[in-house]
Amino acid sequence: MPEFLIEATEAVETWTIDGAARRNALSKAMVRELRGHVERVSSGRSVRAVVLTGAGDKAFCAGADLKERATMSEPEVREFLSAMRETFRSLEKSDCVFVAFINGAAFGGGTELSLCCDLRVAAPTAELGLTEVSLGIIPGAGGTQRLPRLIGLGAAKELILTARRVSATEALGLGLVNRVGTLDDARALAQQVCQNAPIAVGAAKHAIDEGAALGLDEALALEQRHYATTLGTADRLEGLAAFAQKRKPAFRGE
């Protein structure tokens, strides 16, 4: 059985984790399939943005599949964590833009999965949290690194060390989500991204992500390199022509 339901609307796909009965927890099969979908959209040009969500109205993703985890040996847990880290990283590094629609609980790996996405929209009933230390472990799929980069060291330490769960409204206040809304809002955000020039969107995404950990001089040089990738594109000329002719640009990703 596939772990994801896939729906396509023009350049936007919606991927729904199809495991409502286990609150869309991250199993080995689910991570493997996620990797396959990330590779598929990253190697093609037709899908430009993905909305990632969970089935049902209870959970976006309840983190690691704790029932499956209980059956794993220590080496198997290490192997699973490494597959999950690589998969999340490949999603983050993709030219595609990922929008998480957090439709309910997102705990542990569920919050970490949303942190790999470029944008996050939370349903009003959503709850987020890195709950790992309450289970005797620590966030293992990037949470200790991505959360502080997103919301700052102090707020991240509070959430991780207390394992506290936050509401959608609090998450919005912390900058942990971009907005509170519906699946349609998440899709509209993805569509809005797709109005823009694909090569420019990819270059801007990578400039922001890669520059976040650099000193300013190095980061500005990085921005210049990413800018350069847009200079020879037909889309840049189309942007200028459309502006001069007072019409909407028709970008082709070239």
Residues in contact with ligand COA by the rule CB under 6 A: 22-23, 25, 58-59, 62-67, 105, 107-109, 131-132, 135
Token match 């509401």: residue? 167
Question: 3, 33, 112, 127: which is the annotated catalytic residue?
Answer: 112
Active site residue 68: no
The residue from 132, 156, 168, 190 that is catalytic is 132
Tokens of 161: 């060390």
In the complex, the smallest distance separating the C-beta of residue 107 from ligand COA, rounded to whole angstroms, is: 4
- Cα Rg for the chain, rounded, in angstroms? 19
Coil, strand or helix at 180: strand
Q: Are 221 and 214 in contact (CB under 8 A)?
A: no
Beta-bridge partners for 14: 7, 51
Identity of the residue, 64 or 100, whose beta carbon is nearer to ligand COA in the bound complex:
64
**CB of residue 98 to ligand COA, shortest distance in Å:** 21
Minimal distance, residue 19 CB to ligand COA, in Å: 9
- The count of other CB atoms within 10 Å of the CB of residue 227 is 13
Residue 49 main-chain phi, psi, to 5 deg: -150, 150
Note if 112 is an active site residue.
Answer: yes
Active site residue 86: no
Q: Which is nearer to ligand COA, 147 or 201 (CB)?
A: 147
Q: How far is the CB of 100 from ligand COA (least distance, A)?
A: 16
Give the C-alpha separation, 155 to 186, whole Å.
Answer: 25
Per DSSP, the chain holds a count of helices (H) and strands (E) of: 11, 10
* Tokens of residue 181, six digits: 């809304």
Based on CB atoms, which residue is closest to ligand COA, 42 or 144? 144
* Residue of 19, 54, 108, 109 marked active site: 109
25, 62, 64, 106: the active-site residue = 64
Checking phi first, is residue 23 left (phi over 0); if not, alpha (psi -120 to 50) or beta? Answer: left
Q: How many residues would you count in the chain?
A: 254
Q: Is 188 a catalytic residue?
A: no
Question: Do 59 and 23 form a contact (C-beta atoms < 8 A)?
Answer: yes
Task: Give the nearest distance from C-beta 61 to ligand COA in angstroms.
Answer: 8
Question: What is the C-alpha separation between 254 and 202, in angstroms, rounded?
Answer: 12
> Smaller CB distance to ligand COA: residue 114 or 233?
114
Nearer to ligand COA among residue 18 and residue 65 (C-beta): 65
**What positions carry a catalytic annotation?**
64, 109, 112, 132
